[in-house]
Amino acid sequence: MHCAIASVGADGGPHVTPVGTVFLRDDRTGFYVDRYTSVLAHNVEADPRICLMAVDSGVRFWFRSLLVGRFSAPPGIRLYGTVGALRPATAAELDLVHKSVRTLQWMKGGRLLWSDLDHVRDITFTGFRPVRYPVMMSHLWQNVR
C-alpha cells in the first residue's frame, strides 16, 4: 500500500506528499508520523484540510486484475479530512510505528529514515471516494462517484 497526502498551499495550489507511516483507527480517525513533511506541515498549519490517497501497489493484485480484466477489490481510496496539531506520539503509537518498520531497520537506510520518529498528527476523516477504473470495476461501489 502506498499513501500520499494532498494539502492546500498558501497560494491555493495543491501539494502532494508521500507518507509511509499512516495508521488508521476504527473510529474514522488516524495519525501519521510528521517527519520529513515540511511543506505538508506548513500547509496544514494554515489550512488543515487534506486528502489522503492509498493505492494497493501489490504486484499480485495488479497482475491478477489485469489478467482477468476486473478488480476483485477497489485498487485505492481517497480519504478526506482534517489534520490536527503536531503532538508527541504516545507509547502505543510509537509501538505501531516500530512494528511496521522493524523488518527494514537492519539496513542503513532503514535506520536513517525511521530513527527519531517521535511526533505525530491526528487525522479526522469526513468522507471518502474510491479510486475508480469503471471498465474493470463496474461490479464494485456502483453508487459512489
What is the full per-residue pLDDT of the chain (145 aa) written as tens digits? 789 999 999 999 999 999 888 999 999 999 998 888 889 999 999 999 999 999 998 999 999 999 999 998 889 999 999 999 999 999 999 888 878 766 666 667 666 566 677 889 999 999 999 888 878 887 776 555 5
Distance CA 126, CA 54 (A): 16
- Taking every pair of Cα atoms in the chain, the longest distance, rounded to a whole number of angstroms, is 47
Domain boundaries, the chain: 2-88+118-135
Say which CATH topology domain 2-88+118-135 has: Pnp Oxidase; Chain A (2.30.110)
Beta bridge partners of residue 30, listed in sequence order: 24, 123
Distance CA 116, CA 137 (A): 41
- One DSSP character per residue, 72-97 reads SS-SEEEEEEEE---EEPPHHHHHHH
pTM: 0.84
Residue given cell 504486484 in the structure block? 59
Distance CA 44, CA 137 (A): 34
Rg (CA), the chain: 17
